[in-house]
Structures are given as structure tokens and as C-alpha cells.
Amino acid sequence: MFRKIGIASLIMMASVFLSRVIGLVREMVIAWAGGAGTGVDAYQIAFVLPEILNHIVASGFMSVTFIPIFSRYLAADREAEGWRVFSIILNGFGALLLILIGFGEWFAPQIISILAPGIVNPAVKADAIHMTRIILPAQFFFFTGGMLTAVQFAKERFAIPALAPLIYNLGIILGGVILYKKAGMAGFSWGVLAGSFAGNFVLQIWGARRCGMRFFLNMDLRHPDLIAYVKLTLPLMVGLTMTFSTEFFLKFFGSFLPEGGIAALNYSLRVMLILVGFFGQAVGVASYPFLARLAVQNKMEEMNHLINTTLRYLALVIPFSVLMMVLRHEIIRILFQRGQFDPAATAATAGVLVFIMIGAFAFAAQTVVVRGYFAIQNTLFPAIYGTLAAVLSLPLYYFGMQFMGAAGIGLAVSLAAIFQVTLLYVLWNRKTHNPQSRDLYYFIFKIIWLSLILGVSLEGFRQLALTAVRFAGIGEITFSGSLITCMATGLLFAALFVFGGHAMGIREISDILSRIAGKLMPKRRTSP
């Protein structure tokens, strides 16, 4: 089983990493075209209503809510009935989503005024409404793609679903590059629609057909599994998940910031999510089918072992977060400072990044912790407490905005994420009587201490590196000067990370290094 998880994790890790890289290129193109200005603010606001519709039909949770139902039919050798249930859910929720999309298209001006009340510039609001109407239909393709992806995951097919985010991001980039001169930021919106249609809809239909998909025009609203699915999904529809609440609160409170504030917050969040995606999302997605299987077999001890082991490795994201906090100015300058993205935008975005990086581990850990609940088909519990944590975080956003501006909202994002994932993990331990949690807490404590030592050392070295760069005449504000500073600081980080991990007895670091070395330099078989 662990070997299969490793293979699946590698596939999804490659997909998520490439998706994040292409997503970063997407953000770089957006930054080049729109900088940190009002056009980018409007573009980001245009996603709020579509994200709400996506949340209402729980498109992002199809894999974790439908997999247990479909897997049960596969295990009972009743695949034909599984496809019938698949069709019933797809038809029912798809029809509901189409109605909501039509409603959103008609009432977009009124809804945007409610969702982004701080926007007073009529041009920004008009652009946001226009782009909202372009992006809304993409939610149908995301929903359908979620269902199609779920059945492929249930059959342990990961390759084709792994391509969806790559094609989606490429669609946005191409749409922006091709249409920007004529349509402005709306060109990127048309790319959203095209990318979702190609990657999440057309390609996934092909992938599901390869898995033996059967589709029926059936609307049996009384089917017991449809009722069970609604009960399982309803908490996710009305609850506030970490991802959804972060995106919503960031743009809601960001609308009260000076123009460009939402753009700076978004760029910082996307940089952080690259790290989270590489460490957390791939492992969470790939491990879920195996967690679901252990849950069905009622092997809670093995489930806890898998969750805790995964979280130990994910905790290694903390020192990497500190490295990015130290190099925040250089990272933003290298990634974005070109075209319309000027040094002032670099300074503003770097000032936000340092606070958003605090919550990177929480975002990575959440992808695993919440799937433990989903595996035992308990969506109500995390929905209730996740919503409670999100509501309790509202003062953090408000006072952060009032006293620190965009940086304060970035800090609120991190503190809210830490609070939510900690609450859910503590409650999971109490619910499952997890005896291994204390070891995990102690391990995270050691990682934090190692990270603090690394941060102080690296910040001092960075200052010396910048002085050397200035002395050499390269200049700290140039691309080359920032790149040299990043490379030198990164090399020191690697050395201190390995040495500190060995000194503090953090075997996970040496274990990962051994695995990497084994892949790069496999042992040769000797003939007998």
C-alpha cells in the first residue's frame, strides 16, 4: 500500500509542482501586463462569485465525497450501479449549478457590490462585473471535471487528472497573451473559461471513458446514495473551509485597501501556495484513497500512523518558509519586477509575503488533516469547527486591515490557518484516541526551533551578501544581484539545514536525502 501511495504521490507531486510553476508563470504574465494596479484588483474580484458557486456545489470536494460511494460499488463488483449513481449525481447537481450560473450572470452587479463593498472606483467595479460574467460558466466545467476525476481516482488512475491544472493554467496564460491588447485583463478571464473547458471537461471525459465510464440521463432524486451524498456534501456546501474563507476574506477586506492592495495580497498568496502545493497538496490528494480504504476496514491505528507520518514530513515546509521570508524582496523582484510591475509593487508585495509565509505549514497540513475526517465520511464535524474557526478569525482580518494594511491581512491569513488546522487536528486526536500526537507536537517544536536558528543566521548572511553585491558593482536592486543573493543564501541554508537536522536528531531530513541520493545514484546490481 505504501508503495502505491509513493507512486501516486510522485504523479500528483509532479502535477502539482508543474501546475504551481505554470501558475507562477501565469502570475508573472499577469504582473507584467497589469502590475499591482486596479486591473488586477478587478480580475481578482471577478473570481469571488464563481468561487462561491464552486463552493455551493462542493466542486472541489468531489474526490473526497464521491470516492467512498463509488469505491463501495467497485469493491462489491457492482460497477454498473456505481456509474448509475455517478450519472444521477452529475445530472442533479449539474442542473442546479446551471441555474445558479444563470442567476449569477443576471444579478452580477448587485452581488459584486455586496462581495467587494470597499470598491468605490466605478471603472474597477465595471471591469469586475464584466470579468465575473466571463468566468462564471467555467464552474460547470470544474464541477463536471471533479466528478470525472473522482472516478479515475477511485480506480487508482492519476495521470490524466494530473494534467487538468496544467492545461487550465496554460489556457489562462494564452488567453492573456493573445487577447490582452484588445481585451485588457478580460483576456485572462477568457483564458480561464477556455482552460477549464479543455483541461477539466474535455480531457477528463476522455480519461473517464478509458476507465469504462457509462453515463445515463437519469434524475432519480430518491436514490438512497444520492440522499447519502447530499447529506455528506451539505456540510461542505454551507461550511467555511480554509481555502474558501481565505480567498473570500482576502478579497472582501482587501477591497477596502488602497488600489493594488488585493493584487499584492494575491501575488504573495500564490508564491506561498507554490511551496504548499509541492509539499502538501500532492501528498494529501494521493493518500486519500488509501485513507478511505483504511477507514472502510476500520483500521484507525494505521490511519493515525499514516496521518502522523505524513504530517512529520510536511513539517519540513517550516524551514523552507523561513528561507523565503528572509529572501522575500529578492524572490518577488526575480519573479515579478518587469513590465508594469515596478519597484514599489515589489516592496509592497514583499512586505505582505513575509507574513503570509508564517501560515505555509498550516495550509500544507490542512490538506492531510481534513482528509482524515473525509475518509471516515464525516464532513459535518470539520465543517462545523472549520466554520467556527473562520468566523472567530474575522477580528484578525479587521484589525489587521486597520492597523497594518495589506500586511495585516496577510498575517490574519496565516494566524487563521494555524488556528483552524490546530483545532481540527486536536479534535481528531480526541475523537480517534491518537496516541502518537505528542510525538508529532514535539517534532514540530524541534522544527520550529531549527527554523528560528536558520532564520537569524540566514538574515545576517543575506545582509553580508547584499553588501558584497553592492561592492562588486552588481547592485542589489537588479535581477542579477537578487539572483546571486538567493543562490548564496540558498547554499548556506542547505548546509545548515542538513547539519542542524543531524544535530537535533531529525531523521526525516536524512531520510529524504537518502531517498533522493538513491534515485540519483541507484545501486548497481552485481552479477552472481
Identify whether the C-beta of residue 168 lies closer than 8 Å to the C-beta of residue 200: yes
Residue 118 has φ and ψ, to the nearest 5°, of: -80, -10
Q: What is the 3-state secondary structure (H, E, C) of 173-218?
A: HHHHHHHHHHHCCHHHHHHHHHHHHHHHHHHHHHHHHHCCCCCCCC
| Angle 316-276-492 from CA coordinates, rounded to 5° | 45
Helices (H), 196-342: 203-210, 224-238, 242-254, 261-276, 282-296, 300-314, 317-326, 328-336
Helices 406-432/360-375 angle, 10° precision = 30
pLDDT in tens, the chain (528 residues): 444 545 555 565 666 667 778 888 999 999 999 999 899 999 999 999 999 988 877 666 665 677 778 878 887 888 888 899 899 989 988 999 999 999 999 999 999 999 999 998 999 999 999 999 999 999 999 999 988 988 888 887 878 888 898 999 999 999 999 999 899 999 999 999 999 999 999 999 999 999 888 888 878 878 888 888 888 777 777 777 788 899 999 999 999 999 999 999 999 999 998 888 766 665 666 666 677 778 878 888 888 888 888 898 889 899 999 999 999 999 999 999 999 999 999 999 999 999 999 999 999 998 888 888 888 878 788 888 888 999 999 999 999 999 999 999 999 999 999 999 999 999 999 888 877 788 899 999 999 999 999 999 999 999 888 888 777 665 556 788 889 899 999 999 999 999 988 888 887 777 766 665 555 555 554 444
Residue 223 confidence (pLDDT): 84
- Residue 528's pLDDT is 44
Between CA 67 and CA 487 the distance in angstroms is: 43
Do the beta carbons of residue 200 and residue 54 sit within 8 Å? no
pLDDT of residue 516: 57
From the number of C-beta atoms within 10 Å of its C-beta (0-12, 13-18, 19+), residue 301 rates as: middle
In contact, 23 and 274? CB cutoff 8 Å: yes
- Is 522 in a helix, a strand, or coil? coil
The values of phi and psi at residue 167, to 5°, are -70, -35
- Choose among 43, 52, 512: nearest CA to 270: 43
Query: Is the Cβ–Cβ distance between 421 and 369 less than 8 Å?
Result: yes
Residue 298, pLDDT score = 83
Query: How does pLDDT run across 201-257, given as a tens digit for each residue?
Result: 999 999 999 988 888 887 887 888 888 888 877 777 777 778 889 999 999 999 999
Round to whole Å and give the CA distance between 353 and 350.
5
Q: Please report the pLDDT score of residue 138 as a whole number.
A: 96
For residue 97, give the amino acid letter.
Answer: L
Quote the Cα angle for 412-416-419, to 5°: 140
Q: Are 124 and 42 in contact (CB under 8 A)?
A: yes
pLDDT of residue 494: 92
Residues 71-91 have pLDDT tens digits of 788 878 888 888 998 999 899
